[in-house]
Amino acid sequence: MFARTWQGTMIAAARSPRIKAFMQDHRATSFLADRYVAGKHVSDGAARARGLMAEAGIRSSLFFMGEYVDSPELVEENVAQKLAAVAALTTSGLDLHVSVDPTQIGYHLDPDLVRPRAERIARAIADRPVGEQRLRCMMIDMEDESVTGPTIALHDALADAGLPVALTLQAYLRRTEADLAAQIRRGSKVRLVRGAFVGGNAIAFTKVSEIKANYRRLIDRMFSEAAFAAGFYPIVATHDTALHAHAIAAAESGGWPKGSYEFEMLLGVREEAARDLAARGERVRLYLPFGKDWWPYAVRRIGEYPGNAKLLVSSLFS
Ligand SMILES: Cc1cc2nc3c(=O)[nH]c(=O)nc-3n(C[C@H](O)[C@H](O)[C@H](O)COP(=O)(O)OP(=O)(O)OC[C@H]3O[C@@H](n4cnc5c(N)ncnc54)[C@H](O)[C@@H]3O)c2cc1C
- Answer whether residue 211 shows pLDDT above 70: yes
Q: What's the pLDDT at 6?
A: 66
Q: What percent of the chain has pLDDT over 90?
A: 75
pLDDT tens track for 96-105:
999 999 999 9
209 CA → ligand 1 middle, Å = 15
Which of 36, 205, 269 has the most ligand 1 atoms within 8 A of CB, as the residue to mutate? 269
pLDDT tens track for 61-85:
999 998 778 899 999 999 999 999 9
Supply the residue whose CA is at minimum distance from atom 53 of ligand 1. Answer: 265
CA-239 nearest atom, ligand 1? 26
CA distance 294 to 180: 31
Q: What's the pLDDT at 180?
A: 98
pLDDT, average across residues 127-143: 91
CA-144 nearest atom, ligand 1? 11
- Cα–Cα distances (Å) from 194 to 126, 209, 265, in that order, read 29, 12, 12
Q: What's the pLDDT at 171?
A: 98
Shortest CA distance to 270 belongs to which of 36, 16, 19?
36
Q: What's the pLDDT at 284?
A: 98
Half-sphere exposure of 27 (CA within 13 A, CB side): 1
More confident residue, 149 or 312: 149
Candidate from 30-34, 165-169, 231-235 with smallest mean pLDDT: 30-34
287 CA → ligand 1 middle, Å = 11
Helix (H) or strand (E) segment spanning residue 60: strand 59-64
pLDDT, average across residues 173-186: 98
Q: What's the pLDDT at 307?
A: 73
Question: Who's near 77: CB < 8 A, 6+ residues apart?
Answer: 66
Q: What's the pLDDT at 9?
A: 74
Shortest CA distance to 129 belongs to which of 86, 99, 90?
90
pLDDT, average across residues 229-238: 98
Q: What's the pLDDT at 168?
A: 98
More confident residue, 62 or 11: 62
* Secondary structure of residue 311 in the 3-state scheme: helix
CA distance 231 to 257: 13
- Answer whether residue 300 shows pLDDT above 90: no
Supply the residue whose CA is at minimum distance from atom 3 of ligand 1. Answer: 237
- Answer whether residue 318 shows pLDDT above 60: no
238 CA → ligand 1 middle, Å = 6
Supply the residue whose CA is at minimum distance from atom 21 of ligand 1. Answer: 238
Q: What's the pLDDT at 5?
A: 74
Alpha helices per DSSP H over the chain: 2-15, 17-25, 30-36, 42-56, 72-92, 114-127, 148-160, 176-186, 208-222, 225-230, 241-254, 271-279, 295-303, 308-317
Can you say whether residue 53 is alpha, beta or left, with left for phi > 0 and alpha for psi between -120 and 50 degrees?
A: alpha
Query: In which band, very low, low, confident or very high, does the pLDDT at 297 lie, cut at 50, 70 and 90?
Result: confident
194 CA → ligand 1 middle, Å = 7
244 CA → ligand 1 middle, Å = 13
Q: What's the pLDDT at 308?
A: 72
Q: What structural domains does the chain harbor?
A: 38-293 (3.20.20.220)
- Answer whether residue 28 shows pLDDT above 80: no
Integer-rounded Cα Rg, in Å, for the chain is: 19
Per the CB < 8 A criterion, the answer to whether 261 and 247 are in contact is yes
Per the CB < 8 A criterion, the answer to whether 315 and 29 are in contact is yes
pLDDT, average across residues 308-318: 65
Query: In which band, very low, low, confident or very high, does the pLDDT at 1 lie, cut at 50, 70 and 90?
Result: low
Pocket residues: Cβ below 6 A from ligand 1: 141-142, 168, 170, 193-197, 237-240, 264-266, 269-270, 287, 301, 304-305, 308
* Mean per-residue pLDDT over the chain, rounded: 91
pLDDT, average across residues 296-309: 77
- Answer whether residue 158 shows pLDDT above 70: yes
Per the CB < 8 A criterion, the answer to whether 194 and 215 are in contact is yes
CA distance 280 to 235: 17
The ipTM, to two decimals, is 0.97
Candidate from 29-33, 97-101, 169-173 with smallest mean pLDDT: 29-33
Q: What's the pLDDT at 127?
A: 93
- Answer whether residue 192 shows pLDDT above 70: yes
